Structure 1
Amino acid sequence: MPTYVTLLNWTDQGLRNYKDTAKRAETFDAELQKLGVRLLNLYWTLGPYDVVAVVEAPDDETATAALLQRGGMGNIRSTTLRAFGREEVERIIAKTAG
Protein backbone atom coordinates (compact mmCIF):
# COMPACT_ATOMS: atom_id res chain seq x y z
CA MET A 1 0.00 0.00 0.00
CA PRO A 2 1.17 3.54 -0.61
CA THR A 3 2.79 5.31 2.35
CA TYR A 4 2.07 8.89 3.39
CA VAL A 5 3.89 11.18 5.81
CA THR A 6 1.53 13.73 7.30
CA LEU A 7 2.83 16.81 9.05
CA LEU A 8 0.25 18.06 11.54
CA ASN A 9 -0.20 21.33 13.34
CA TRP A 10 -2.69 21.91 16.11
CA THR A 11 -5.28 24.58 15.52
CA ASP A 12 -6.16 26.93 18.37
CA GLN A 13 -8.84 24.42 19.36
CA GLY A 14 -6.38 21.53 19.27
CA LEU A 15 -3.89 23.43 21.39
CA ARG A 16 -6.53 24.34 23.97
CA ASN A 17 -7.24 20.60 24.25
CA TYR A 18 -3.60 19.44 24.30
CA LYS A 19 -4.24 17.29 27.38
CA ASP A 20 -6.45 15.05 25.24
CA THR A 21 -3.86 14.51 22.51
CA ALA A 22 -3.09 10.88 23.45
CA LYS A 23 -6.79 10.04 23.55
CA ARG A 24 -7.32 11.82 20.21
CA ALA A 25 -4.49 9.71 18.78
CA GLU A 26 -6.37 6.54 19.73
CA THR A 27 -9.51 7.88 18.06
CA PHE A 28 -7.46 8.90 15.01
CA ASP A 29 -6.14 5.35 14.67
CA ALA A 30 -9.61 3.81 15.05
CA GLU A 31 -11.16 6.16 12.49
CA LEU A 32 -8.34 5.52 10.01
CA GLN A 33 -8.85 1.77 10.33
CA LYS A 34 -12.54 2.15 9.46
CA LEU A 35 -11.46 3.70 6.15
CA GLY A 36 -8.85 1.02 5.43
CA VAL A 37 -5.91 3.23 6.44
CA ARG A 38 -3.18 1.88 8.70
CA LEU A 39 -1.37 4.15 11.17
CA LEU A 40 2.26 2.99 11.14
CA ASN A 41 3.71 5.59 13.53
CA LEU A 42 2.70 8.77 15.27
CA TYR A 43 5.26 11.15 16.73
CA TRP A 44 4.80 14.32 18.76
CA THR A 45 7.55 16.65 17.63
CA LEU A 46 9.41 19.85 18.39
CA GLY A 47 9.85 22.45 15.67
CA PRO A 48 7.46 23.71 13.00
CA TYR A 49 5.10 20.71 13.27
CA ASP A 50 3.35 19.40 16.37
CA VAL A 51 2.78 15.82 15.23
CA VAL A 52 4.02 13.59 12.39
CA ALA A 53 1.91 10.63 11.28
CA VAL A 54 3.09 7.86 8.97
CA VAL A 55 0.21 5.95 7.40
CA GLU A 56 -0.52 3.45 4.67
CA ALA A 57 -3.66 3.83 2.57
CA PRO A 58 -4.97 1.93 -0.44
CA ASP A 59 -4.84 5.07 -2.61
CA ASP A 60 -4.59 8.86 -2.62
CA GLU A 61 -8.36 9.29 -2.45
CA THR A 62 -8.67 7.22 0.70
CA ALA A 63 -5.74 8.98 2.35
CA THR A 64 -7.27 12.34 1.51
CA ALA A 65 -10.71 11.33 2.78
CA ALA A 66 -9.21 10.21 6.09
CA LEU A 67 -7.36 13.48 6.57
CA LEU A 68 -10.35 15.58 5.57
CA GLN A 69 -12.47 13.70 8.08
CA ARG A 70 -9.96 14.32 10.88
CA GLY A 71 -9.27 17.91 9.86
CA GLY A 72 -12.99 18.60 9.86
CA MET A 73 -13.05 18.00 13.60
CA GLY A 74 -11.15 21.25 14.03
CA ASN A 75 -8.09 20.13 16.02
CA ILE A 76 -5.49 19.88 13.25
CA ARG A 77 -4.27 21.21 9.94
CA SER A 78 -2.20 18.90 7.80
CA THR A 79 0.35 18.73 5.02
CA THR A 80 0.66 15.29 3.46
CA LEU A 81 3.56 13.87 1.48
CA ARG A 82 3.43 10.70 -0.61
CA ALA A 83 6.43 8.64 0.45
CA PHE A 84 8.15 6.05 -1.76
CA GLY A 85 10.09 3.09 -0.41
CA ARG A 86 13.32 1.80 -1.92
CA GLU A 87 11.64 -0.75 -4.19
CA GLU A 88 9.12 1.80 -5.40
CA VAL A 89 11.77 4.37 -6.26
CA GLU A 90 13.82 1.71 -8.04
CA ARG A 91 10.78 0.93 -10.25
CA ILE A 92 10.29 4.64 -10.89
CA ILE A 93 13.92 5.08 -11.89
CA ALA A 94 13.74 2.01 -14.12
CA LYS A 95 10.91 3.69 -16.06
CA THR A 96 13.22 6.62 -16.92
CA ALA A 97 15.65 4.34 -18.78
CA GLY A 98 13.29 4.36 -21.78
Structure 2
Amino acid sequence: MESLNFIALVKFKKKGDQKLIAQNLKQLEVEEKEGIRYQSISWTLGRYDAVVMFEAPDEKAAMKVAISRGDWADIETLVAVPAVEARKLVEYVMPESFPTGVGNRKGEGSFWATA
Protein backbone atom coordinates (compact mmCIF):
# COMPACT_ATOMS: atom_id res chain seq x y z
CA MET A 1 0.00 0.00 0.00
CA GLU A 2 1.17 3.51 -0.81
CA SER A 3 2.01 5.86 2.05
CA LEU A 4 -0.09 8.93 2.75
CA ASN A 5 1.35 12.45 3.01
CA PHE A 6 0.77 14.60 6.08
CA ILE A 7 1.60 18.12 7.21
CA ALA A 8 1.84 18.79 10.94
CA LEU A 9 1.52 22.37 12.18
CA VAL A 10 3.23 22.52 15.58
CA LYS A 11 2.93 24.98 18.48
CA PHE A 12 5.26 24.33 21.40
CA LYS A 13 3.59 24.26 24.83
CA LYS A 14 6.82 24.50 26.76
CA LYS A 15 10.42 25.45 26.26
CA GLY A 16 12.59 22.66 24.94
CA ASP A 17 15.50 21.39 27.00
CA GLN A 18 18.16 18.74 26.38
CA LYS A 19 15.96 15.98 27.83
CA LEU A 20 12.99 16.88 25.62
CA ILE A 21 15.17 17.11 22.52
CA ALA A 22 16.74 13.71 23.24
CA GLN A 23 13.30 12.20 23.85
CA ASN A 24 12.00 13.56 20.55
CA LEU A 25 15.05 12.32 18.60
CA LYS A 26 14.56 8.85 20.07
CA GLN A 27 10.86 9.00 19.13
CA LEU A 28 11.82 9.88 15.53
CA GLU A 29 13.98 6.75 15.35
CA VAL A 30 11.17 4.55 16.69
CA GLU A 31 8.68 6.06 14.23
CA GLU A 32 10.98 5.44 11.27
CA LYS A 33 10.99 1.74 12.18
CA GLU A 34 7.16 1.90 12.19
CA GLY A 35 7.02 3.27 8.64
CA ILE A 36 7.02 7.02 9.29
CA ARG A 37 9.24 8.88 6.84
CA TYR A 38 10.05 12.51 7.63
CA GLN A 39 10.42 14.63 4.50
CA SER A 40 11.03 17.98 6.16
CA ILE A 41 11.08 19.56 9.61
CA SER A 42 11.20 23.36 9.60
CA TRP A 43 11.04 25.85 12.43
CA THR A 44 8.93 28.83 11.49
CA LEU A 45 8.11 32.40 12.46
CA GLY A 46 4.48 33.34 12.99
CA ARG A 47 1.45 31.37 14.08
CA TYR A 48 3.23 28.00 14.30
CA ASP A 49 6.64 27.14 15.73
CA ALA A 50 7.32 24.32 13.28
CA VAL A 51 5.96 22.68 10.15
CA VAL A 52 6.63 18.99 9.63
CA MET A 53 6.02 17.08 6.41
CA PHE A 54 5.96 13.31 6.68
CA GLU A 55 4.67 10.10 5.13
CA ALA A 56 2.83 7.48 7.14
CA PRO A 57 1.30 4.12 6.25
CA ASP A 58 -2.16 5.31 7.37
CA GLU A 59 -4.12 7.86 9.39
CA LYS A 60 -3.69 5.91 12.64
CA ALA A 61 0.09 6.06 12.35
CA ALA A 62 -0.10 9.82 11.71
CA MET A 63 -2.33 10.28 14.76
CA LYS A 64 0.20 8.40 16.86
CA VAL A 65 2.89 10.88 15.77
CA ALA A 66 0.82 13.80 17.11
CA ILE A 67 -0.47 12.07 20.24
CA SER A 68 3.01 10.97 21.31
CA ARG A 69 4.03 14.64 21.52
CA GLY A 70 0.87 15.95 23.14
CA ASP A 71 2.50 16.74 26.46
CA TRP A 72 4.83 19.36 24.94
CA ALA A 73 3.20 20.44 21.67
CA ASP A 74 -0.18 21.26 20.15
CA ILE A 75 -0.21 19.64 16.72
CA GLU A 76 -2.70 20.14 13.91
CA THR A 77 -2.27 17.40 11.31
CA LEU A 78 -3.44 17.77 7.72
CA VAL A 79 -3.69 15.12 5.01
CA ALA A 80 -1.77 16.33 1.95
CA VAL A 81 -2.78 15.16 -1.52
CA PRO A 82 -0.13 15.78 -4.20
CA ALA A 83 -1.36 18.30 -6.80
CA VAL A 84 -1.03 15.74 -9.60
CA GLU A 85 -3.34 13.33 -7.75
CA ALA A 86 -5.78 16.13 -6.85
CA ARG A 87 -5.93 17.14 -10.51
CA LYS A 88 -6.80 13.55 -11.50
CA LEU A 89 -9.63 13.51 -8.93
CA VAL A 90 -11.03 16.85 -10.09
CA GLU A 91 -10.78 15.81 -13.74
CA TYR A 92 -12.62 12.57 -12.95
CA VAL A 93 -15.36 14.22 -10.89
CA MET A 94 -15.70 17.40 -12.97
CA PRO A 95 -14.42 16.71 -16.51
CA GLU A 96 -16.00 19.97 -17.72
CA SER A 97 -13.40 21.82 -15.64
CA PHE A 98 -10.76 20.72 -18.13
CA PRO A 99 -12.10 21.73 -21.58
CA THR A 100 -10.10 20.35 -24.48
CA GLY A 101 -10.04 23.66 -26.38
CA VAL A 102 -8.43 25.67 -23.58
CA GLY A 103 -4.82 24.98 -22.70
CA ASN A 104 -3.51 21.53 -21.98
CA ARG A 105 -5.85 18.96 -20.40
CA LYS A 106 -2.93 17.67 -18.40
CA GLY A 107 -2.75 21.05 -16.72
CA GLU A 108 0.89 21.62 -17.62
CA GLY A 109 1.99 25.10 -16.71
CA SER A 110 -0.89 25.56 -14.28
CA PHE A 111 -1.46 25.21 -10.56
CA TRP A 112 -2.79 21.68 -11.07
CA ALA A 113 0.43 20.50 -12.67
CA THR A 114 2.68 21.28 -9.72
CA ALA A 115 3.97 18.38 -7.72
TM-score (norm 1): 0.78
Report how far residue 34 of structure 1 moved.
2.8
Gaps of 5+ in 2: 96-115
For residues 45 and 34 of structure 1, the distance between their equivalents in structure 2, rounded to whole angstroms, comes to: 27
What root-mean-square deviation, in Å, do the aligned CA atoms of Structure 1 and Structure 2 show? 2.1
Q: Which moved more, 1:20-29 or 1:82-91?
A: 20-29
Report how far residue 62 of structure 1 moved.
1.3
Matched, 1:89 2:86: yes
Name 2:32's counterpart in structure 1: 33
Q: Which structure would you say has the larger RCO, counting Cα contacts within 8 Å and 6 or more residues apart?
A: 1
Structure showing the higher helix proportion among its residues: 1
Identical-pair percentage = 24
> Which protein has the larger Cα radius of gyration, Structure 1 or Structure 2?
2
Gaps of 5+ in 1: none
1:14-44 CA-partner distances (Å, limit 9, x unpaired): x1x2566754553342132132111110001
1:49-95 CA-partner distances (Å, limit 9, x unpaired): 11110000111111112221222xx1111001111112211221133
Cα 1:92–1:4, aligned 2, differ >3 Å: closer, same or farther? Answer: same
